[in-house]
């Protein structure tokens, strides 16, 4: 079930842009501005490629993520196998459609997804981690900043998320999230939202 056998998103090479080197105070100020701009944008979406693995279970495919405030809708599809599913919800509710046997529902999106697929994906926190922001309400994060102030990695709630960035912009082009045997890799092909124009073009197409 859900054998999303598209080419793994690590299969296409991406040349990382050299980061701008800034004085520490300037880098910190610039990052504070980035965080404020990104958090102010509650309506955003992305399209890209995702690969998921967890204790021998995994798959890959196309992903579309739409965020409207605290509500989200995530669609994953593999054109080769013509399999797809859609996860939608918000605080305290989640519904997973597209599986054999009918939809699954629950109060925790990550638990619903794990029970149905065996994948460990921190759905609610990922809405922030995708944009290189620490997730509110989770454990205190450890952030490793790059020479331009943007995060190279965030460690939070047992997860370690590494980022790659376009030359300029407020949104990352790649992330690699890991916790134990669980791994989520994502390449962003396009962002849409208030800061999307700055981030487009860094997704390694």
Query: Tens digits of per-residue pLDDT, 42-80?
Result: 999 999 999 988 877 778 899 999 999 999 999 988 766
Which residues partner with 24 through β-bridges? none
Q: In what helix (H) or strand (E) does residue 126 lie, and over which residues does it extend?
A: helix 123-129
DSSP 3-state assignment of 134?
coil
Is this prediction's pTM over 0.85? no
Question: What does the pLDDT read at residue 6?
Answer: 37
CATH topology of domain 24-192: outer membrane lipoprotein receptor (LolB), chain A (2.50.20)
Question: Residue 152 phi/psi, 5° resolution?
Answer: -85, -30
Average pLDDT over every residue of 12-24: 64
Domain boundaries, the chain: 24-192
Let me know the angle formed at the C-alpha of 154 by 49 and 64, rounded to the nearest 5 degrees: 20
């Amino acid at each position: 079930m859900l054998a999303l056998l598209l080419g793994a998103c690590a299969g296409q090479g991406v040349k990382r842009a050299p980061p701008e080197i800034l004085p520490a105070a300037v880098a910190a100020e610039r990052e504070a501005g980035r965080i404020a701009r990104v958090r102010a944008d509650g309506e955003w979406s992305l399209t890209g490629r995702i690969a998921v693995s967890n204790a021998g279970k995994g798959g890959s495919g196309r992903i579309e993520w739409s965020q409207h405030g605290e509500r989200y809708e995530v669609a994953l599809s593999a054109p080769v196998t013509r399999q797809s599913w859609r996860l939608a919800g918000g605080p305290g509710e989640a519904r997973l459609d597209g599986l054999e046997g009918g939809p699954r529902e629950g109060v925790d999106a990550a638990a619903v997804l794990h029970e149905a697929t065996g994948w460990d994906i921190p759905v609610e926190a990922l809405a922030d981690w995708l944009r290189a922001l620490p997730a509110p309400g989770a454990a205190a994060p450890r952030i490793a900043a790059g020479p331009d102030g943007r995060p190279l990695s965030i460690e939070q709630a047992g997860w370690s998320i590494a980022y790659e960035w376009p030359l300029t912009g407020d949104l990352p082009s790649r992330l690699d999230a890991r916790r134990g045997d669980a791994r989520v890799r994502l390449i962003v092909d396009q962002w849409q939202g208030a800061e999307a124009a700055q981030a487009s073009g860094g997704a390694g197409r």
